[in-house]
């Protein structure tokens, strides 16, 4: 299983990678910006954990690009945010994210979200609402 992590904070990326290891994901691509992450969608990640407020601030475009790729519709997506961005979150839910976590990230909360998102046949956040 392959994961893609995009967050400008190296500390947050380490927390996310540690949580991914707990749920058994060993193959992780990490990026401090979305340009690099978007270019790496060709690696066909099974799960994407992305920060809303990255330097280039285009997480929704990353999710849209992922969903447009062959096989991208089945990739799981969890978004991280420091503040309430309800309109963006509603758009992301419409694109089929599996969940979101608030920053600063509580590792156990993220581990629980990852475990749920990675279950076979798990629904999207919109279906769960």
pLDDT the model gives residue 25: 97
pLDDT tens, 25-79? Answer: 999 999 998 888 888 888 889 999 998 876 555 788 888 889 898 888 889 999 9
Neighbours of 64 (CB within 10 A): 14
* Burial (CB count within 10 angstroms: exposed 0-12, middle 13-18, buried 19+), residue 44: middle
pLDDT the model gives residue 129: 45
Average pLDDT score, the chain: 86
How many domains, the chain? Answer: 1
pLDDT tens, 99-109? Answer: 888 888 999 99
At 42, which CATH number?
A: 3.40.50.2300
Range of the domain at 117: 2-128
pTM of this prediction? 0.87
């Amino acid at each position: 299983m392959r994961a893609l992590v995009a967050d400008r904070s190296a500390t947050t990326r380490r927390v996310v990678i540690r949580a991914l290891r707990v749920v058994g994901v060993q193959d992780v691509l990490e990026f401090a910006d979305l340009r690099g992450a978007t270019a790496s969608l060709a690696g066909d990640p099974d799960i994407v954990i992305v920060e809303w407020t990255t330097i280039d601030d285009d997480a929704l475009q990353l999710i849209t690009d992922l969903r447009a790729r062959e096989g991208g519709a089945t990739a799981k997506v969890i978004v991280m945010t420091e503040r309430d961005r309800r309109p963006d979150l509603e758009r992301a839910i419409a694109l089929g994210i599996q969940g979101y976590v608030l920053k600063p990230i509580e590792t156990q909360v993220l581990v629980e979200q990852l475990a749920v998102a990675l279950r076979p046949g798990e629904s999207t956040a919109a279906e769960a609402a």
